[in-house]
Structure 1
Amino acid sequence: MRIAVLFLLACGSAAAADYRISTVATGLDHPWSLASLPDGRLLVTERSGRLRVIENGQLRPQAIAGVPAVLADGQGGLFEVLPDAHFADNQLLYLSFAAGSRQANSTNVVRARLAGEKLVEVKTIFVAKPLKKGTAHYGARMLQLDDGSLLVGLGDGFAFREEAQNLRSHLGKIVRIDGDGSVPRDNPFVGRADVLPEIYSYGHRNVQGLAFDAQNHIVYAHEHGPRGGDEINRIEAGRNYGWPLITYGLDYTGAVISPFTQKPGLEQPLLQWTPSIAPAGMVLYRGDAFPQWRGSLVVSALAAQQARRVPITDGKAGTQEILFAELKKRLRDVRVAADGGLYLLTDYSAGEVLKVDPPR
């Protein structure tokens, strides 16, 4: 109870009058990720396996062809769409998704070129190892760094949480690969025969938020805890973030996962949420539409049905602000629009793309 009270006192709420929310598109099947293209089009993934286009404020009825087959079961499906930093020149996209069967599946990443209404030159560039049973905890959020390499946040497979500490497994890791799937030479474990070379950091539970502060060259990630213990972490190469050796959460049964919240050599989160808010997407806001939000992480949340604005000052998390709670909707993703507003995705079978702008 004490943790919950402290948690509530550490948050303020923004008034709905501080912004206005409009609907961009409706009727999307559990939209998971949104990306803006240089020409103003929006790409939206549906977890069922479709890649959709919003153009001139209208959702096109026809999905993009050529998307690989996905395992749309449980938490599985089509996840992130990420345009390459040089998309205007090369038309390249990266997609993450669940692939395989209920008995043997993994998080996969492909690179493809968008040619009109279809994907061509589709190439698998990453398959998480080993294959796992069950359809939970895929992670699958992606981020492109300024050197062109990709970070992919992965889940622990839910029933395989000990794998987060196993450096011969991709489960419960953040991996780093180049755009063609090769391993960057400066990855932290390159050259060690006992470690998968793609591993960038480990000891994660289910990473579904990644943000890059290009000004300060800092990577932030958030991950789902069990009953409590959702985290935001500052990610550094080669570091161990502790799951399941340390945690602020309990098992869903109420059982203790670990009696420890700290141990030597294991990283502490910038902040943790207990009770859980179920964080989904995350952006670092640098826009002009809401100057008071600059330098803050904005985290969309499923269970809490809101977003959290987390100011970051000198590497520390400040007092949080609750945003968009009046919607009373599960928020799967949050993105910064070209004009500095925000896009939100709602996580329903008839999901929406919403736009947040300053008040008139």
Structure 2
Amino acid sequence: MKKTQTLGLILIMSLIACAQQKDTEIHEPENINYTVETVVDGLSVPWAMAFLPDKSMLITERSGEIIHFKNGEKIDIDNVPEVVARGQGGLLDIKLHPDYKENGWIYLSYSSPEGTENGAHTAIMRARLRENALVEKQLLYKAEPNTRKSHHFGSRFAFDKDGYLYFSIGERGERDVNPQDITRDGGKIYRLKDDGSIPADNPFTDNPNAKHAIYSYGHRNPQGMVIHPETGEVWTHEHGPRGGDEINIIKKGANYGWPVITYGINYSGTKITDETEKEGMEQPLYYWVPSIAPSGMAFVTSDIYPDWKGNLLVGALAFQYLERLVLENNKVTYREKLLTDMGRIRDVRQGPDGYIYVSVEGKGIVKIVPKQA
């Protein structure tokens, strides 16, 4: 292909992306009607947080620690699984079982060195917390083979209304090998029963060579996952390359296209593919150009934030703000920056008290408090 033709294709891709973005440009906040309170300080990379029934908080540090924040004190949890804390790897997501009060199960994702190959891959474990230590640890899933590449581990959790556990694993930097191959781990959304067993109606259980835990494929590096509060659908977002971060609604057995189709380009500026859509591959609900590097995801359902109710919140690592997206009929109609210049936002959760909590790298956990009218 001639150089002029290549440049022309890149320009066309950019124009398509800009057209989609035109009506949803990011807005500076017109009126900052909230304050920010620091809840937990002195954290390095607080990757995720979970709220216990007593209103205390469990926090994962990517370096491999779990912190129990209770009554203003940070308590280190013992017997945490071994992690490979290198690059984007380490101790990642944390989630309580929906029936935690009855069974006490806590779910963790992390970059595990277990396996015959050098390096690491994403693992899923559940355990119980007793006397400031993890006990009864059970490995539910370990992706393979290990690789020494230190990026694209995923990894977020969600439990649906039927109690199935969904989790994401990134394609581990093997974009031409893993995402489109259902016999290999990486670049997938997975579904398990809460004990780690495979649901009989998973989409690829009839294929003897497939990874039977796979629920959807063709993903790059999903670091956001949440259940829609009204429809019960699994929503994810994932990192694109240079441009092309995506929001997707996960469908059983669906192919989300990476790297066959994408709205992004290589970090060098060269194209990855000529295709932005293809038959049999899902289009994103929304995509970002330029990339915001999304991490963490939450729907606002609390009456504490009446003007934000029903909105989607997404952390923007690259630009260091929290993005608020207004949705109408699954279409993004407005975007706004919150917590500008706060730092690299890693996670966002709506707590059981109805307040929005945000984890910020190099700082800690903050709470968004609306100003009194």
Scaled by the length of structure 1, the TM-score of the pair is: 0.94
Q: Which runs of 5+ in 1 are unaligned?
A: none
Match of 2:32 in 1: 17
Counterpart residue identity of residue 46, structure 2: P
Written as runs of structure 1 = structure 2, the 5 A alignment for 1:120-139 is 120-139=135-154
The equivalent position to 1:338 in structure 2, one of 332, 352, 359, is 352
1:94 aligns with 2:107: yes
Counterpart residue identity of residue 88, structure 1: K
**Paired residues of 1:289 and 1:339 also in contact (CA < 8 A):** no
Written as runs of structure 1 = structure 2, the 5 A alignment for 1:99-114 is 99-100=112-113, 103-114=118-129
* 1:339 partner SS: coil
Q: Distance in 2 between matches of 1:214 and 1:288?
A: 14
* 1:85 partner SS: coil
Question: Deviations for 1:292-311, whole angstroms, at most 9, x for unmatched residues?
Answer: 21212110110011111122
> What displacement does 1:8 show?
6.9
1:217 aligns with 2:229: no
* 2:76 partner SS: coil
Match of 2:369 in 1: 357
Match of 2:7 in 1: none
Identity across matched positions, percent: 39
Q: In structure 2, do the counterparts of structure 1 residues 217 and 49 end up closer, same or farther at CA, with 3 Å as the change threshold? A: same
> What displacement does 1:6 show?
6.8
The equivalent position to 1:70 in structure 2, one of 76, 80, 83, is 83
**Paired residues of 1:16 and 1:324 also in contact (CA < 8 A):** no
Question: Deviations for 1:317-357, whole angstroms, at most 9, x for unmatched residues?
Answer: 222222111x3411000000222221111123xx3111101
Q: Distance in 1 between matches of 2:333 and 2:234?
A: 17
Match of 1:273 in 2: 288
Counterpart residue identity of residue 343, structure 1: Y
Question: Deviations for 1:259-317, whole angstroms, at most 9, x for unmatched residues?
Answer: 11111111001110011000000011111110121212110110011111122322322
1:55 aligns with 2:70: yes
Q: Distance in 2 between matches of 1:357 and 1:4?
A: 34
> What displacement does 1:130 show?
2.7
The equivalent position to 1:206 in structure 2, one of 221, 244, 268, is 221
Match of 2:261 in 1: 246
> What displacement does 1:90 show?
1.5
Q: Distance in 2 between matches of 1:353 and 1:129?
A: 33
1:180 aligns with 2:195: yes
Taking only aligned residues, the RMSD between alpha carbons, in angstroms, comes to 1.8
Q: In structure 2, do the counterparts of structure 1 residues 29 and 220 end up closer, same or farther at CA, with 3 Å as the change threshold? A: same
Q: In structure 2, do the counterparts of structure 1 residues 41 and 134 end up closer, same or farther at CA, with 3 Å as the change threshold? A: same
The equivalent position to 1:286 in structure 2, one of 285, 301, 315, is 301
**Paired residues of 2:229 and 2:299 also in contact (CA < 8 A):** no
Scaled by the length of structure 2, the TM-score of the pair is: 0.91
Q: In structure 2, do the counterparts of structure 1 residues 155 and 291 end up closer, same or farther at CA, with 3 Å as the change threshold? A: same
> What displacement does 1:215 show?
2.4
Q: Distance in 2 between matches of 1:6 and 1:164?
A: 25
Which range moved further: 27-36 or 305-314? 305-314
Q: Distance in 2 between matches of 1:295 and 1:333?
A: 18
Q: Distance in 2 between matches of 1:15 and 1:64?
A: 42
Counterpart residue identity of residue 62, structure 2: R
> What displacement does 1:5 show?
8.7
* 2:32 partner SS: helix
**Paired residues of 1:91 and 1:115 also in contact (CA < 8 A):** no
Counterpart residue identity of residue 135, structure 1: S
Q: Distance in 1 between matches of 2:257 and 2:210?
A: 17
Counterpart residue identity of residue 256, structure 1: K
Q: Which runs of 5+ in 2 are unaligned?
A: 1-13
Counterpart residue identity of residue 206, structure 1: N
1:329 aligns with 2:305: no
**Paired residues of 2:327 and 2:334 also in contact (CA < 8 A):** no
Q: Distance in 1 between matches of 2:183 and 2:73?
A: 43
Q: Distance in 2 between matches of 1:299 and 1:244?
A: 23
Q: In structure 2, do the counterparts of structure 1 residues 153 and 269 end up closer, same or farther at CA, with 3 Å as the change threshold? A: same
> What displacement does 1:244 show?
0.1
Counterpart residue identity of residue 146, structure 1: K
Structure (1 or 2) with the greater strand fraction: 1
